[in-house]
Amino acid sequence: MKPPSKHRGKPSRSSGKTSASRPVPARAGSKDEARRVAESWGVREDRSEKGAGKKKAQGRGARTGGKAESAKPHVLKTEADKRADRSRDRKTSSGAAPGMGRAARFSASRPDDARTDARPARSYPPKRRSAPGPRPTPRAKNADGTSSGEQRIAKLLARAGIASRREIERMIAEGRIAFDGVVLDTPATLLSSLRGVTVDGAPVAEAETTRLFLFHKPAGCLTAERDFSGRKTIYDVLPRDYPGGLPRLMPVGRLDMNTEGLLLLTNDGELKRKMELPSTGVERTYRARAFGEISQAQLEELIHGIEIEGVRYGRIDANLERRTGRNQWIEMTLTEGKNREVRRVLEYLGLKVNRLIRTRYGAFELGDSAPGAIAEAKPHELETFIRDMRRRDK
């Protein structure tokens, strides 16, 4: 094997060119003279610390017989080669392969758990905003969409105890209600108060505090304000000597002429309407004495409701209390309260009702009061009842 040349990196005799492809003289007297000649052609020797460190490492590897690196000849590099080496070193130190774009190098330089596909967010200086001005106060709205200061005249008159909403609408259609002397033709008229409103020419007072009375209706009187045939009504039975006098009262629901028991009276037409609606789910309890034969199993079938002559009656909780001869005492609880509902259901089952008493309406019970007696519900009981009724209605 031919021994390695002692003049590595020096000009070759055959070609007359260096490893950097620059023409130099064929012979040089010494290393200094060769270096001066090379520098005259723009070729400089790589004497940087990085290059020196590489040569030392290569020398150590060659001496120890390592296979990772081998001794390389000393090469003189141009400025362009050095710039290329420095650029390659920066790319390698950043973890990116040569030829990778800017976005790829940025992604490669970040840890795996912090890499995202999105570009890094740019920071902007905070915008200067002027102080917000005063905002207009929103107007409160009622359930029907009107403003809090205005309500339909039908609702105001019902709240004042004149009549129910439906009756007031009929009164307006008949031309019995006027405002400031002008007869109204629609129940949708919006007013903030009843000032200037007249019914049959008489001024209407403002609404009073809601009150509720428990009246023990006796049999033989109508649940009506008047009867053109001259029959007795509940207003003929109400006591005249009630302490402080009774306000204008309206019945909550109706009881047949021959039905007795608890009848609620109120001065608030809106409360009357709410309590009568089946959607509020207010329970009514009746005790019926009926002639005929029936079993508890038959009564329990009413829990699913029943349809009679095309009319559907809802859930009825019926229980057989006791028997006296061929008469049956039956307790029935329902929530709809349709016209003559209890009598029609029992007659459909083959019974003949000869006495019917309503003992409870919602949270209010008849108790041991005598027929014709009346008592006012306590304010806290009324408030609790109204609150529970509204919660069920939702």
- Helix (H, G, I), strand (E, B), or coil: what is residue 42? coil
**How open is the CA angle 221-223-229, to the nearest 5 degrees?**
65
Q: Which of 193, 150, 218 is nearest to 373 (CA)?
A: 218
- Helix (H, G, I), strand (E, B), or coil: what is residue 93? helix
Q: Are 362 and 377 in contact (CB under 8 A)?
A: no
- Compute how many other C-beta atoms are within 10 angstroms of the C-beta atom of residue 32: 9
Q: What share of the chain is helix, strand, coil (3-state, %, to 5)?
A: 30, 20, 50
Q: Are 258 and 342 in contact (CB under 8 A)?
A: no
Within 194-274, strands assigned E span 197-199, 202-203, 212-217, 250-251, 260-266
Angle formed by the axes of helices 165-173 and 269-276, nearest 10°:
120
Displacement of CA 135 from its chain's centroid (Å): 26
Q: Which residues contact 104 (CB under 8 A, 6 or more apart)?
A: 96
**Is 241 an annotated catalytic residue?**
no
Residue of 256, 268, 368, 393 marked active site: 256
- Helix (H, G, I), strand (E, B), or coil: what is residue 284? strand
Within 218-310, strands assigned E span 250-251, 260-266, 284-291, 306-308
Q: Which of 356, 227, 349 is nearest to 298 (CA)?
A: 349
CA distance linking residue 107 with residue 299, whole number of Å: 80
Q: Are 190 and 299 in contact (CB under 8 A)?
A: no
Please give the positions annotated as active site.
Answer: 256
